[in-house]
Chain A
Amino acid sequence: MRPVAPLEDDDNPCRPRHYKPTLAAPSDGDTRVNRSLELSRNRLMVTAGAFLLAFGIISLRLADVTLLKTPDPEVAHLGQPVVAKPAHFSRGDIVDRNGVVLATTLESSSLFANPRTIAEPAKLAKQLARILPGAKESDLYAKLASDKSFVWLQRRLTPAQEHQVNLLGVPGLDFQREERRIYPQGSLAAHVVGYSDLDGKGLAGIERSFDAALGQSTEPLKLSVDIRLQAILKEEIQKQIDAFTAVGGTGIIMDIKTGEVLSLISLPDFDPNDLNTVVPETIFNRATLGVYEMGSVFKIFNTALALENKTATLSKMYDISKPITIGRFTIHDDEPIHHAIPVAQIFAVSSNIGSVHMVQELSPEIQKDFLGRLGLLRPAQIEIPEIGSPQVPNPWREINSWTIAFGHGLSVSPVQLAVAASAVADGGILKPATLIKRPAGFQPPGQRVLSPRTAELMRELFRYDVTDGTGKKAEVPGYLVGAKTGTAEKIGAHGGYMHHGNLSSLISFFPMSDPQYMVYVIIDEPHGDRNNKAQASYGFTTGAWTAGPAVQRIIARMAPLLGLKPIEETPEIHRALTVDIPGMGPKVAAN
């Protein structure tokens, strides 16, 4: 009988739970089975190993990518929060020194229509005419009833108009976003800021000279002007223009320590928001583009020149009793004095004859060289394109030298004169004028044009002109104002000087103990009228009577605004600012 084959493990339903069969020696039949088992196990191991390796690589790579490697910037930003982009306009803002917006770009919408999709053009034209005050109903109807597929109805709607058009809910109307340059301060800074055309291209002023920079920058451009001073300067000049029915006027306020122009006004002016007001008479910048014979304010340079070259001292006497005749010209004084007077008084009473006598002791070359160093013979350097070239006599003969001594025969722009006179008042160092705000504590590059001693004497003269001379009208108690007046006869249309066409000016500095500010006002062709109470000038149209009161009011208003405390005129200050001439005037005797 065949031996019963040992039961396979699972064949025995009664096997104990922990029964382990004893291993029998492999039989012949088993080896084949075992080999194939071995083979499949090996295959399994290889596959498992491959998978393990793959997963291992993946996890290593994962650790590498997530923990170790610094991410590519290109990929990294995908996971970063998106930062809001500020509203971008194609042109940067222009602001004043305190950040008041002078020019900005706003979005505006233009309305267009597709007439083919408009069902009731007549009704719509009526509705739109009510919303858009500038448009005529008949014009709108003609556009809406045409068979084009695109017509402009109105450019640059206000937000309120846009809202009303949207409320109509008519299909076929749509808006196109456009940009519009806005000047919120209107005409107040017109000649500084300038203006731009409908496409946002700068056509004048800072808008033109910084056209490219404004197009790239999103940061506002900060100017040196102060809009509050603009308002004061404009109001006071306008008052004088109105009172004297003058043709125009201009004024500059400058911080002479830094060269920053705090205010620049030219009247009449224009509104850069309304291009219809931009006409040649208004766009003309009298402060920088206009060149004029400035008259007696040139005696500032004439006196400084004589003092610097030591051909004169403040007390040197000149006989001014006789008019000077050269060829067919006669040089005389408006109010003749029939005896000799010292240099200080020639300055204070503004004697033409005395000034000519002073320059006669110097050669024309020295005078020309000096005025050249003061920048009066080359165009002004300032950041707007409207710059006038001075009219310099060529050749510069002796007769030219004489008339230039009292401010005739050489035409310069007011800004040129302001810079040169500031150099004389501020220690003899010429600093360039700027319309861009300087950082705090900025020291502008300076060029010495006068010795400190001459500059000191000139300060005394400026002050003397206000205490005892033609500049009395500019005095503001507490601010130690120094000034020089100027009245030039303008050249008429047919050549030759006009007897009733003056260019009347007054340039002032304060406080004279250490000049910080310059205020310069010019009134163009004032007309005197004895009976006009607003003039209060007894019919005079000189710089003292026209520009003087304006300067006085400007200083009185601007000083508190800038937080300048009145200065006590201590005996030391008084002495330092007093012209010291033996035996002259009660002021000198008092000390």
Chain B
Amino acid sequence: MMRSSTFVSLVLVCGLGFGLFKVKYEVQSLEEELAKINRQTVTDQDAIHVLKAEWSYLTQPVRIGDMAGRHLALSPVTSGQMGSFDQLPLKADRPADTEGGDVKIEAVLKAMQVASKPTQAHPTNVAALKPGGDR
């Protein structure tokens, strides 16, 4: 009886000792990893901070405008291009020539114009809205 309990205790002591040792080292390595991640986080936050400033610098409206003018075939949106879903034609109003085939975008745009025209007291003169347009 005494001998077997001594034996069990010995095994327990060894096991616990080993377990403690293992856990301790595991914690230590996890802590090292955490510290490393924390350092990385701070470095990344620093980098994000710098990148935000750089983003703001690179997206200066004037600069973007210049580049868009040079490289894109786009111009600023004018009020004539603003619309809403109400202006889209319903299926019933769809022009007859699109039946059975794909809806032609020109036909839809035409229908939109027709839909929006009669209510407009002053038709929008797109040319007058262009910057530099001479009235």
Given contacts A227-B61, A477-B129, A566-B124, A184 and B49 within 8 Å (CB-CB): no
Mask: chain B, 6-43; 1 = CB below 8 Å from A; 0 = not: 00000000000000000000000000001101110110
Contact at B49–A104, with CB atoms within 8 Å? yes
Contact at B45–A87, with CB atoms within 8 Å? yes
Q: How far is the CA of A150 from the CA of B125 in the complex (A)?
A: 70
Contact of A86 among B39, B45, B57, B130 (CB under 8 A): B45
Q: How far is the CA of A107 from the CA of B49 in the complex (A)?
A: 10
Q: Please tell me if B5 contacts chain A, counting CB pairs below 8 Å.
A: no
Contact at A87–B60, with CB atoms within 8 Å? no
Q: Please tell me if B65 contacts chain A, counting CB pairs below 8 Å.
A: yes
Q: How far is the CB of B89 from chain A (nearest CB, A)?
A: 18
Contact at B57–A184, with CB atoms within 8 Å? yes
Q: What size tier do the contact residues of chain B reach?
A: 35 or more
Contact at B56–A100, with CB atoms within 8 Å? yes
Contact at B62–A87, with CB atoms within 8 Å? no
Contacts of A556 in B (CB 8 A): 78-79, 129-131
Q: What size tier do the contact residues of chain A reach?
A: 35 or more
Binds B, one of A300-308, A490-498, A557-565: A557-565
Mask: chain B, 43-86; 1 = CB below 8 Å from A; 0 = not: 00110011011111101111001000000000011111111100
Mask: chain A, 1-22; 1 = CB below 8 Å from B; 0 = not: 0000000000000000000000
Q: Please tell me if B134 contacts chain A, counting CB pairs below 8 Å.
A: yes
Contacts of A570 in B (CB 8 A): 119, 121
Contacts of B3 in A (CB 8 A): none
Q: Please tell me if A371 contacts chain B, counting CB pairs below 8 Å.
A: no
Contact of A568 among B61, B119, B132 (CB under 8 A): B119
Contact of A477 among B41, B83, B122 (CB under 8 A): B122
Q: Please tell me if A478 contacts chain B, counting CB pairs below 8 Å.
A: yes
Residue of A nearest to B30 (CB): A81
Contact of B56 among A81, A83, A185, A232 (CB under 8 A): A185
Contact at B56–A82, with CB atoms within 8 Å? no
Contact at A560–B46, with CB atoms within 8 Å? no
Q: Please tell me if B128 contacts chain A, counting CB pairs below 8 Å.
A: yes
Contact of A559 among B41, B79, B135 (CB under 8 A): B79
Contact at B52–A104, with CB atoms within 8 Å? yes
Contact at A85–B60, with CB atoms within 8 Å? no
Contact at A478–B56, with CB atoms within 8 Å? no
Contacts of B132 in A (CB 8 A): 553
Question: Could you write out 16 A-B pairs with CB less than 8 Å apart?
Answer: A100-B59, A101-B55, A104-B52, A182-B53, A184-B55, A184-B60, A231-B62, A477-B125, A477-B129, A478-B124, A536-B134, A556-B79, A565-B84, A566-B79, A566-B82, A568-B121
Q: Which 10 A-B pairs have the closest CB atoms?
A: A231-B61, A184-B56, A84-B41, A184-B57, A101-B56, A84-B38, A560-B77, A569-B121, A556-B129, A87-B46
- Since A186-B60, A570-B121 are in contact, a sample of 9 more A-B pairs with Cβ atoms closer than 8 Å, ordered by chain A residue number, is A85-B42, A89-B49, A101-B55, A104-B49, A184-B54, A184-B60, A228-B61, A557-B76, A561-B77
